[in-house]
Amino acid sequence: MSSERALLQALAELKANPEQSAAVAETRHCIVLAGPGSGKTKTLTTAMARVLAQDVVEPRGVACVTYNNECAIELETRLARLGVVPGDRAFIGTVHGFALSQVIGPYARCVPIGLPANFRVATRLEARAAVEVAYRNVINGTDNPHQRWEFASEKRKRDVDRSRPEWLRRNPELAAFIETYEAELRRQGLLDFDDMPLLAYRMIKENVWIREALRARFPVLFVDEYQDLGHALHELVLLLCFEGGIRLFAVGDADQSIYALAGANPELLESLTRRTDVRTIKLRFNYRSGGKIIRASLGALGEERDYRGVDGAPEGDLSFWEAPYGLDSQAQVIADTIIPKLIEQGFEPGQIAVLYRTAKLGNKVAVALKDADIPFVRTDTNALVKRSSRFARFIEECARWATGGWRDADPSYARLLSQAITLVFGRHASEREEQDLSAQLMAFLNASIETAETTNAWLQRLSRELITPWSDVARNSEQEWQVCDEMIANTDPACDLDLSLAHFAGRIEGAGRVNLSTLHSAKGREFDAVIMYGVNNTDFPSDRDKRTPAGLREARRLFYVGVTRPKKHLSLVFQEQHFSPWVLELYQRSQKQ
């Protein structure tokens, strides 16, 4: 299907929903408030494709900033169906990626920001060492420098504009700590991830010509998951869009703001909806969940919202499971009773998810499922493949190609080569560089077809044959070569962790692996059936949640995110007589018609 025809079809599909249709057609600043299952991504990607086709004349394009690489990958996949691919006319990536590739990289040599031409991103160890140097020089106390840095990091993310009085007025010692830390990084030709949007902001604010250059290239800025992106992105939006003339199209949901520790603040999104120069559109229909689950979700949130299901959709189902003892007992109930029962009812294992608050809890579920011989895949911080890492996803796709994908181009070699070029060189490489990289990649992949290697042996060969030569010529400042080392350690045969390459690639059991995920990692995803594990009165909310009203509100939003993931079925698992008080509210609300 041609890109023009695909766009026309997408526009026609949205006509049944007046809010979505109005958002896509809007030509002013627009904020789309999109609740769970409301078609947020479809609205955003269709709007991007329409703007590129109708509003923006080549060679100008659009930029789309989102929370993490996983969100960016999902947007790229959806946009490809509409004929939009990342390139000169479309930037799709994180706020850090935008700052680095569109501001710092092109203009750092033109303005004095203290970075050499060959700057790179600091490793975790380099950043920690710089913290220790700065602590000795500024504070020289007896406490843990990294614990003190947690407070400094919070200030650094919040006080983006250092020309404002509050930068020095609010805790000048922390301001000095931050500035000394950054000076130590610059001395070594380094910057860290938090540096990226902060430096980009300062460069744009102090150099109007950079702002004008960005507007010339990207007259429209799209922002996905605005509520998660924090103060640096918000200040960039105010600077680029409301002072610099770039049109803003942002989607978000303050009810799903669950990243306060990373600097997210739902008030930033809400502040935009109060502006008179912004049109706010609310998406009311939930296309994901049945009516009973929608009602239950509002009980989980504890607030009224004008969300409704689609006429004729099944109501969905809820079940509540009490375990006689603590978390181990609850994990056993999931493995021995709930999952087998769901499979008996016709749910595919790959469409069942077990959600929990921390990866440590995921370990308990993983042990129970392994003992019950139930295949699973983890997408938390203990996952073999980190969903937020583009390099990890590339490695997994190489495994898929080697274990059968080469037959039906799933994935295609062209896609793998394009990913490799981006990972090694950024967006652009010379013809010779592309040829050399392609020869290395093809030689490795051909040697992998029908290999008898286990995942660990295959990863070690990948490290030798690809990562070693690629790291010597790489120009991409956001390198993730250590991810392969982590995967090698996580498949160590000496610890009984190794697995077949086909299993690693998802070729064995296919969709037959139950999903294990933290609630944070599950955000933005959907499943036919969701099991929420550990919904106890000491965990939802926890004592830590109760310390501040803001902490309690965020915990409630996290609970809400979990409840809104299922399409058809939700199970809540807790200790007998010790369920979360929010479970009762959820149950009572679900019973209303």
Cα distances (Å, whole numbers) of residue 130 to 125, 137, 174, 466: 9, 11, 15, 31
71-76: Cβ within 8 A, 24+ apart: 71/224, 71/225, 71/524, 72/97, 73/390, 73/393, 74/41, 74/524, 75/41, 75/44, 75/45, 75/224
8 Å CB contact between 289 and 316: yes
CB within 8 Å of 301: residues ≥ 6 apart: 255, 556, 557, 560
Cα distances (Å, whole numbers) of residue 303 to 20, 175, 251, 306: 24, 39, 21, 10
35 annotated as belonging to a binding site for a ligand: yes
266 annotated as belonging to a binding site for a ligand: no
Closest by CA to 138, choosing from 171, 187, 188, 175, is 175
Closest by CA to 358, choosing from 516, 572, 518, 543, is 518
Tokens of 457: 């042996």
Number of CB atoms found within 10 A of residue 581's CB: 10
CB within 8 Å of 97: residues ≥ 6 apart: 72, 478
46 annotated as belonging to a binding site for a ligand: no
Full DSSP string of 98-129: HIIIIIIHHHTTTS-SS--TT-EEPPHHHHHH
CA pair distance 192, 156, nearest whole angstrom:
12
CB within 8 Å of 384: residues ≥ 6 apart: 378, 487, 490, 491, 504
**Residue 428 per-residue DSSP state:** -
CA pair distance 517, 532, nearest whole angstrom:
10
42 annotated as belonging to a binding site for a ligand: no
37 annotated as belonging to a binding site for a ligand: yes
Phi, then psi, of 113 in degrees rounded to 5: -115, 5
Report how far Cα 59 is from the mean position of its chain's Cα atoms: 29
Max CA separation in the chain (angstroms): 67
Place of tokens 């921390």: 358
567 annotated as belonging to a binding site for a ligand: no
**Residue ranges for the binding site?**
34-41
**Residue ranges for the binding site for ATP?**
34-41
